[in-house]
Amino acid sequence: MLVVMRMDAREEDIRGAVEKIESHGLKAHPIPGAQRTAIGITGNIGIVEPVLFESLPGVLEVIQVSHPYKLVSREFKAEATVVDVSGVKIGGRDLAIIAGPCSVESYDQTLRIARAIKEAGAHLLRGGAYKPRTSPYSFQGLGREGLEILARVREETGLPVVTEALDIDVLDLVAEYADMVQIGARNMQNYTLLKRAGRCGKPVLLKRGMNATVTELLLAAEYILDQGNNQVVLCERGIRTFADHTRNTLDVAAIPAVHRISHLPIIADPSHAAGKRHKVVALSRSSVAVGADGLMVEVHDAPEEALSDGYQALSPGEFSDLMVEVRNLAPVVDRDVPSYVGT
């Protein structure tokens, strides 16, 4: 932490600030400059809030230097984490492709789509049993029945299943059925849910909130790791900006930013960012090219009849074309698109 004094701060102001710092068991390092003095602070500053010094006489501002995350940081763990979702690896050289419908609507629909995406080369099946919807009058998901459908389709196809736990009431149930538990963007700062996900015994897919900084995303992940679960995959899905040509602005730069700061893998969800089917393929390529560890793509075999978000779902044919593009692109960025035997 750095306490910056005003240009007109008096000697006694500086002395006062130093004493205040030391009264908290910290060490003060005054740096007298040409125009003003700054005071560096060292010691156990993890527990110190800037307010302690901000309103002292002669203080201009207090600047925090270190970031508050630990377990998620590359400074603490240098090598990249590879998350294992029932045999599918996320975070290493292999790209992981997650696909499926926005919502689980029926056994037949889910099975048809699962077979199509498996055929095209996807590694994991997504599908919402519990849906967060802006309006209370929109379809809210099949609930437990949706989880059961996913389990049956997994048995049929061998594809591990990723699905969202909307709240703590259903998290344990979701963790029981799913191979990977998804925490949605709107819940990225639902701390109770994050803590519970940290104890659920399954890998977690944590989506970035649409107004979250990379620091906040990493701190949300820190909640999960802090509970003993380090099997966390992050997901960039677009942020909210003034730009109105997509539903959200896919912040592809967040992907190398996370890789630089953290050892956790990060994938991209081009479907929610685009909000329109016709941009999904381009954003998928863009995400793989920037270094994403995988993709999560919505696929529906009758997008026009989908009960939610159909306008952003690829058809099975479009998804199959996308997989061809991903396979062509992968070697250019030193990646593989694996085929899992038996799945």
Residue 231 Cα distances to 34, 189, 264, 340, angstroms:
50, 18, 8, 20
Cβ atoms of 204 and 183 closer than 8 Å: yes
Cα–Cα nearest to 236, from 261, 255, 220, 218: 255
Closest separation in Å from C-beta 238 to its own copies: 9
Closest separation in Å from C-beta 166 to its own copies: 6
Cα–Cα nearest to 161, from 213, 217, 101, 208: 101
Annotate 84-115 with DSSP letters as a single string.
EETTEEESSSB-EEEEE-SB---HHHHHHHHH
Q: Which residues of 280-314 are buried (b: 16+ CB within 10 A; e: fewer)?
A: bbebbbbbbebbbbbbbbbbbbebeebbbbbbbbb
Q: Which is nearer to its own copies, 85 or 219 (CB)?
A: 219
Q: Which is nearer to its own copies, 90 or 258 (CB)?
A: 258
What the block records as the tokens of 93 is 């050289």
Q: Which is nearer to its own copies, 157 or 230 (CB)?
A: 230
Closest separation in Å from C-beta 158 to its own copies: 29
What the block records as the tokens of 84 is 């294992």
Q: Which is nearer to its own copies, 135 or 339 (CB)?
A: 135
Alpha helices per DSSP H over 121-185:
144-157, 168-177
Cβ atoms of 102 and 108 closer than 8 Å: no
Closest separation in Å from C-beta 98 to its own copies: 19
Closest separation in Å from C-beta 86 to its own copies: 27
201: amino acid identity, one letter: G
Closest separation in Å from C-beta 295 to its own copies: 12
Closest separation in Å from C-beta 265 to its own copies: 15
Q: Which is nearer to its own copies, 137 or 341 (CB)?
A: 137
Q: Which is nearer to its own copies, 106 or 192 (CB)?
A: 192
Residue 127 CA to residue 113 CA, distance in Å, equals 10
Q: Which is nearer to its own copies, 155 or 304 (CB)?
A: 304
Q: Which is nearer to its own copies, 154 or 196 (CB)?
A: 196
Closest separation in Å from C-beta 326 to its own copies: 10
Burial class (CB in 10 A: 0-12, 13-18, 19+), 143: middle
The angle subtended at Cα 29 by Cα 23 and Cα 32, nearest 5°, is: 125
